[in-house]
Amino acid sequence: MIKPFRYAGFLDVLERSGDITADTQAAMSPALAGLLVSAAAPAAWSPAAALLIPVLKARRATWQAAADTELAADELRKYQKYAKPGRPSPHIVQLRQKQAAARQATSIARQALIKAAAAFVREADIDVPERMPLDTFIVEWIDTHVPKDAATSA
User: Which whole-number Å values give the CA distances from 71 to 2, 52, 77, 113, in the listed order?
Assistant: 10, 28, 10, 21
Q: What percent of the chain has pLDDT over 70?
A: 90
DSSP 105-129: HHHHHHHHHHHHHHHHHHHHTPPPP
Residue 152 reports pLDDT greater than 60: no
Asked whether residue 68 is assigned to any structural domain, the reply reads: yes
44 vs 90, more confident: 90
38 vs 89, more confident: 89
Question: What's the mean pLDDT in 139-149?
Answer: 89
Candidate from 59-73, 77-91, 102-116 with smallest mean pLDDT: 77-91
Asked whether residue 3 is assigned to any structural domain, the reply reads: no
Conformation bin of residue 125: beta by default, left when phi > 0, alpha when psi is -120 to 50 = left
Q: What pLDDT does 18 receive?
A: 67
Question: Mean pLDDT in the chain?
Answer: 85
Q: What pLDDT does 42 receive?
A: 66
Q: What pLDDT does 154 receive?
A: 45
Number of domains in the chain: 1
Asked whether residue 150 is assigned to any structural domain, the reply reads: no
| Banded pLDDT at 12 (limits 50, 70, 90) | confident
Residue 109 reports pLDDT greater than 90: yes
Q: What pLDDT does 106 receive?
A: 93
Q: How far is C-alpha 119 from the geometric centre of its chain's CA atoms?
A: 15
Domain span holding position 49: 8-145
Q: What pLDDT does 36 receive?
A: 80
Residue 121 reports pLDDT greater than 90: yes
